[in-house]
A and B are shown apart, each in its own frame.
Chain A
Amino acid sequence: MTPDALPGFRPAPLLGSLAFATLAMTAISMAVGYAPLPLGQAVTDLLAGQKSLPALVLYELRLPRALLGALVGFSLGMAGAAMQGLLRNPLAEPGVIGISSAAAFGAVLVFYSGLSASLALALPLGGIAGALVATVILFILLGRGASTTTLILAGVALNSFAGAATALALNLAPNPYAALEIVFWLMGSLADRSMNHVALALPLMLTGWLLLASTAPALDALSLGEDTATSLGFDLGWLRARLIGGAALAVGSAVAVTGAIGFVGLVVPHLLRPLVGHRPGRLLIASGFGGAILVLAADIGVRLMPIRPELKLGVVTALIGAPFLFALVQRLRREAL
């Protein structure tokens, strides 16, 4: 046996099947919708450059929805795994450092100002601005060589501030309808997004993923403790900077385009951890795919369920995710006995 070939741990087949499942779910997501769509014809028309109705539906509605589902899920899953690795705490999730709440507040401000009505991309831009401001504040709060506790405290502070500011915006909403719109947006949804949303989020997310992926060896080392990780040659300050920056880019842009989708970043790493030999570094990419699969599945479910207007995605991921968490608690309790 080699260190990388332990029972139950074969990275290539695992990542391969997760990637395949992600592709399959993306395809299924494109096939599912409110009106029947001749998918084959739509694809051929689209590739041939013919602006037929099926091609338009595919390109304007189905494709961005499926792509964003995969991208947002990947970002949330990967950032969740990274946070759990950094904080060495299974309860950590992408929102723990406050970036998601700040992104949500940024978007809410746009709602509130009425800018969202005049410019289609104002909402996601506001969300990204919120995430950016929060990241800068976080880095200033932390300085160099901050401890994990400082990071969590700074995250709690940011979270409560952004949460309070969002509540204030709701409180001061000009009319109940505006407040309701904000609340619905906060629940997260992939409906009515365009390829512009994809184009806006994709470069930010990709950069975030690369930054997160670069932390993998350091996260493995960190599972042995901070002193040992440092003695193995990893600069923990640099690790935190890359990880927070990567999570902020990936999660900030995810929240900016879809609103808050909870539980994905918390649950997916837990489900996949045993399959990667419990190595936090190996968990990153796997959780990315796992997150994509979960979000796509939830979004397919949203459209298949006979409830109209459709349920919000964040509600469904939480409804799917919570039972997994209950099962996890049960398992941890049994193992503790």
Chain B
Amino acid sequence: MAITASGITVSLGGKPILRDVDAQIRPGEVLGLIGPNGAGKTTLLRVLAALLAPERGGVDYDGASVRQLGRSALARRIAFLTQGGEGPAALSVETLVGLGRLPHRRPFAEADDADRQAVAQALALCDVAGFAGRAVGTLSGGERRRVLLARALAVEAPYLLADEPLAGLDPQHQLDTLQLLRRISGDGTGVVVVLHDLALAARFCDRLLLLDHGRKIADGLPVEVLDDVRLAQIFGIHALRGVHAGEPFLLPWRTLDNGKTAS
């Protein structure tokens, strides 16, 4: 059981975005997609969610292709959270989160108990149950992000693909969100998350997939992937490292003077 992408190659407008990238998402695991801006993280996530067909290569969903599964079956298997995304301002929070139940509902069927329960649970998990009745437009940016995450969780899919779910969140809710993703992965969900914060990525992901200029540079345990040479070569930074309560951590500390070369 896994989502397996192999040999993914994508170019947009003649510009290569992904070149021959392999990736695998396993149930019960948090996979972090990291890399500098323009590395191809979002594109890879969209290919994994079957929102973008690769030029070459293919994605296999628990042994079936998109074509074999069909869109609606895939919609129950993969929840996707886009980058940014305002959400329709006038919709109430609860209605918006309820839209996550559409893949489970026959057209025009009313919400059933399972739907209501999933929505209530998603609202509670994302700490937004308190403003369930408010219009999305009246919320702050961070609150809105959490509501959109709740919408994705309401799908109750075995895989969750989230593009920068931490953008615009305060530190408490960044940690909340990552702890939440860890919790649902503990329940068996396969989670893929695009992250820019390397410290949080190293701390909360089981595995990191590092992309640069559309190529996969590394795929493995955070400590292995984020070694000093890669931090210098790919990100052009130096990071402090330490161990707290038996867990290694890293803290991006300064940029390297001479561009992206190791000092």
Chains A and B belong together in one complex: yes
B76–A233 CB distance below 8 A: yes
B residues within 8 A CB of A234?
Answer: 71, 102
- B98 within 8 Å of A (CB atoms): yes
Residue on B nearest A3 in the bound complex, by CB: B98
- A118 within 8 Å of B (CB atoms): no
- A148 within 8 Å of B (CB atoms): no
Residues of A1-15 at the interface with B, using a CB-CB cut-off of 8 Å, are: 1-4, 6-7
A-B contact count (CB 8 A): 92
Number of residues of chain A lying within 8 A (CB) of chain B: 27
Residue on B nearest A230 in the bound complex, by CB: B51
- A33 within 8 Å of B (CB atoms): no
Give 1 or 0 for each of B69-101: 1 = CB within 8 Å of chain A CB: 001111110111010010110111011111111
| Distance in Å: Cβ of A172 to nearest Cβ of chain B | 45
A6–B133 CB distance below 8 A: yes
A residues within 8 A CB of B119?
Answer: 2-3
Give 1 or 0 for each of A191-218: 1 = CB within 8 Å of chain B CB: 0000000000000000000000010110
B116–A220 CB distance below 8 A: no
Residue on A nearest B85 in the bound complex, by CB: A225
Residue on B nearest A6 in the bound complex, by CB: B92
How many Å lie between the Cα of A231 and that of B96 in the bound state? 15
- B257 within 8 Å of A (CB atoms): no
- The residue from A1, A228, A278, A279 contacting B82, defined by CB atoms under 8 A apart: A228
- The residue from A6, A214, A216 contacting B94, defined by CB atoms under 8 A apart: A6
- The residue from A225, A227, A232, A277 contacting B92, defined by CB atoms under 8 A apart: A277
- A242 within 8 Å of B (CB atoms): no
A residues within 8 A CB of B78?
Answer: 231
How many Å lie between the Cα of A7 and that of B105 in the bound state? 22
- B199 within 8 Å of A (CB atoms): no
Residue on A nearest B70 in the bound complex, by CB: A233
| Distance in Å: Cβ of B144 to nearest Cβ of chain A | 12
Number of residues of chain B lying within 8 A (CB) of chain A: 42
B residues within 8 A CB of A231?
Answer: 49, 51, 75, 78-80
Which of B107-115, B165-173, B183-191, B200-208 forms part of the interface with chain A?
A: B107-115
B91–A277 CB distance below 8 A: yes
A216–B76 CB distance below 8 A: no
Looking at A6, A230, A231, A277, the one whose CB has the most chain B CB atoms below 10 A away is: A231
| Distance in Å: Cβ of A99 to nearest Cβ of chain B | 25
How many Å lie between the Cα of A235 and that of B75 in the bound state? 11
A residues within 8 A CB of B229?
Answer: none
| Distance in Å: Cβ of A234 to nearest Cβ of chain B | 7
- A303 within 8 Å of B (CB atoms): no
B residues within 8 A CB of A274?
Answer: 90
Give 1 or 0 for each of B38-65: 1 = CB within 8 Å of chain A CB: 0000000010010100000000000000
A to B CB contacts below 8 Å, 25 in the list: A2-B119, A3-B98, A3-B116, A3-B119, A216-B107, A224-B96, A224-B99, A228-B151, A231-B49, A231-B75, A232-B99, A232-B102, A233-B73, A233-B74, A233-B75, A233-B102, A274-B90, A277-B92, A278-B90, A278-B91, A278-B92, A278-B95, A278-B135, A279-B91, A279-B95
